[in-house]
Chains A and B, each alone.
Chain A
Amino acid sequence: MNPVNYLYLAALLFTIGASGVLIRRNAIVVFMCIELMLNACNLALVSFSRMHGNLDGQILAFFTMVVAAAEVVVGLAIIVSLFRSRHSASVDDASLMKL
């Protein structure tokens, strides 16, 4: 199959993730949407790697996975601590600071 189709899929996944970040209100779901965006990037990198016939893209995809894992560790720690103080993980409730 033409690898370009995978690029369209990657762009679609990235867009779904980005709209999820902007639309959803639960911090955990927002965070999952960001992970979806990172995975879309991985798909794009691997497809390009296949097209160019070199391994740079695949190596980058591995690093992205590691970074995503590290981001989960830090992000969940922060979101859980917020949830425990407020009993809510809604990003709309977190509005102590306004203009």
Chain B
Amino acid sequence: MSATAVHSLWTTAGEVTSAAPGDRFTAPTIEYAQLAPVLIVVGVAVLGVLVEAFVPRRARYTTQVFLTVVALAASFAAVIGLAADGYATKSAHIAAMGAIAVDGPALFLQGTILLVSMVSVFTFAERRLEPAPHGDGVSPAGTKSRAWGRVDSFAAQAGSVPGSDSEKAAVKAGFTTTEVFPLLLFSVAGMLVFPAANDLLTLFIALEVFSLPLYLLCAVARRKRLMSQEAAVKYFLLGSFSSAFLLFGIALLYGYAGTVSYAGIAGVVDGDIQDIDPALADTMGNDALLLIGGAMILMGLFFKVGAVPFHMWTPDVYQGAPTPVTGFMAAATKVAAFGALLRLLYVVLPGLTWDLRPVMWGVAIVTMVGGAVVAITQTDIKRLLAYSSIAHAGFILAGVIAASPDGISSVLFYLGVYSFVTVGAFAVVTLVRDAGGEATHLSKWAGLGRRSPLTAAVFAVFLLSFAGIPLTSGFSGKFAVFKAAADGGAAPLVVVGVISSAIAAFFYIRVIVLMFFSEPKADGPTVAVPSPLTMTTIAVGVAVTLVLGLAPQYFLDLASQAGGFVR
């Protein structure tokens, strides 16, 4: 195309349309029903912001929790409705002018994200764990009430400097940061779009929409706020660093293919497009654009899933963030990011499978081994779970590499399994407390089984599931992923995976031994008795762990039915 013709595209648009009457501007069609899961969550998130502005402070907590739970439930119902209409299997569809795919993997992952967010909201809303000094039980009107002064894990006023007079005043006044609920909903909305994104623009916007609220949520812990702010700064700087890489990768892929739609890029990569204009013919011949662009996008996604060598943020952020946020982030972000990674590798870049193979193998191997080995040296339970999540990212990558329908369905299943166990495990971490808030140092967990057998037993179930012991969901997940990898010609990866599972089992079992077979310390932590909210979270976690461990077949079938990407 000549320079003047290109120039006329945006200077004299009227002439162009009159020159080509068949190519008129057409209004976009938006399939609202198919986008309902996302729209409900975004709508209620906006409503939540209005609640912060107009509802009196006393009523905000109840209103926000109610709205959030209703939004997530309604959105989940919409996902189920779409799946029942057959969008997950035979009538998969690309909605919103090619921006969002409504297909099996998207709906399966959206359902998982919504359920996991729902149980996470319960831990966000928990208000029985913080003791009296952080809420004096006196309402502003001066009347004592049990309900007033109950506080959650979030700062009284996030803007106040820790330890300052303004913070003391905010604590005394019984303020709470109820903004966390709309923030969570915005984040969930981004996560719902992320695995369904069907062009690179939507991918990038969804990534930012779910990341930005998470950066803020990390900074608002009630206790240990310096650590929390430090975690937020690290997460923010490294997160935006990685999304800049992702964006440059998007620019290069766009330069290569001349389009941002997944199907369009895949067509150019595979070389099966019909009308090639001279500009495209020029850039198509340049494989450097494709390879570097693809690698940079993968880099951005590897950062989000926490794969070695892009994992450095994980332990610090998991440790510093408020524990309910850590649980939500660890579970839901991983589901969304692996969804996007799957779609990218299976829809956009299947033509690159062989070029990317050494890279993917390398990343998967160092992730599995690195996560498992470094976790052994950890002394903080939240850091230990962080490294364990890195190792799990490696196991899931082994399934991604399989490059087969079984690979897709096993990854979907593993993500469902892993996310519920993670949320449950972090919910248990919020219960073990001493005077300084949560007692996360491992030495303080010694003898927990003697003092509080039920809590320790529940945590042991989660740890066994992480380790992949038979009869827990972790075993069915790992078995599915490794089987898919072995069938897909990645047998050496499976060997490495099994070895690092064995290494990982060592430190999970070590925690169990510490809890049950060592003497409790005199000044050890106490286990707080939570409200039914956190109990529900933990109970759901245990139930999913056992059900998927004992009878996984139904859910494996569900995942394999949902395993087809639309293109």
Contact = CB atoms under 8 A, between A and B. Distances in A.
Interface of A: 7, 10, 14, 17-18, 21, 27, 30-31, 34, 37-38, 40-41, 44-45, 47-48, 50-60, 63-64, 67, 70-71, 74-75, 77-79, 81-82, 84-86, 91, 94-97, 99
Contact of B255 (A48, A82, A96): A48
Contact of B259 (A7, A56, A70): A56
A45 B293 CA distance: 12
B320 A41 contact: no
6 contacts: A44-B255, A74-B236, A78-B232, A82-B230, A85-B161, A94-B233
B524 interface: no
Interface stretch (B41-49, B119-127, B201-209, B365-373): B201-209
Contacts, number: 151
B493 to A, nearest CB: 27
Contacts of A81: 158-159, 161, 219, 229
A91 B237 contact: yes
B9 A67 contact: no
Contacts of A86: 226
B279 A44 contact: no
B315 interface: yes
B231 interface: yes
Nearest to A11: B248
A27 B5 contact: no
B29 interface: no
Interface stretch (B66-74, B239-247, B356-364): B239-247
Nearest to A96: B227
A38 B277 CA distance: 29
A55 B226 CA distance: 45
Given A7-B255, A48-B255, A53-B5, 15 more contacts: A34-B237, A38-B244, A41-B248, A41-B250, A50-B6, A51-B255, A52-B258, A53-B277, A55-B10, A71-B208, A75-B236, A78-B229, A79-B236, A91-B237, A96-B226
Interface of B: 1, 5-6, 9-10, 158-159, 161-162, 200-201, 204-205, 208, 212, 215-216, 219, 225-227, 229-234, 236-237, 240-241, 244-245, 247-248, 250-252, 254-255, 258-260, 277, 279-280, 282-283, 315-316, 319-320, 377-378, 383
Given A21-B241, A85-B226, A51 B279 contact: yes
Contact of A27 (B201, B233, B277, B378): B233
A74 B226 contact: no
Contact of A31 (B230, B237, B248, B316): B237
B248 A97 contact: no
Nearest to B251: A44
Nearest to B225: A85
B248 A44 contact: yes
A58 B201 CA distance: 11
Given A51-B283, A94-B233, A34 B240 contact: yes
Nearest to A74: B212
B111 to A, nearest CB: 28
A63 to B, nearest CB: 6
Contacts of B162: 85
Given A84-B161, A86-B226, A99-B377, A94 B234 contact: yes
Contacts of A18: 241, 244
A67 B205 contact: yes
Contact of A60 (B5, B201, B231): B201
Contacts of A7: 255
B316 A97 contact: yes
Contact of B280 (A52, A63, A67, A79): A52
Contacts of B241: 18, 21, 34, 37
A26 B255 CA distance: 34
Contacts of B254: 45, 48, 56-57, 60
Contacts of B259: 54, 56
Contacts of A45: 250-251, 254
B244 A41 contact: yes
A10 B248 CA distance: 9
A18 B255 CA distance: 21
Contacts of A56: 201, 254, 258-260
A79 to B, nearest CB: 6
Contact of B260 (A27, A38, A60): A60
A77 B212 CA distance: 11
B465 to A, nearest CB: 26
Nearest to B235: A78
A52 B315 CA distance: 43
A34 to B, nearest CB: 5
Nearest to A31: B237
B237 A21 contact: yes
Contact of B204 (A50, A58, A67): A67
A97 B227 contact: yes
A55 B9 contact: yes
A60 B208 CA distance: 14
Contact of A14 (B232, B248, B378): B248
A78 B201 contact: no
Q: Which 6 A-B pairs have the closest CB atoms?
A: A48-B255, A37-B244, A52-B258, A44-B251, A53-B6, A53-B1
B248 A40 contact: yes
Nearest to B237: A30
Given A74-B236, A78-B233, A91-B237, A37 B316 contact: no
Among the interface residues B10, B212, B255, B282, which one has the most CB atoms of the partner chain A within 10 A? B255
Contacts of A82: 229-230, 232-233
A88 B180 CA distance: 27
Nearest to B280: A52
A31 B151 CA distance: 34
A65 to B, nearest CB: 12
B240 A97 contact: no
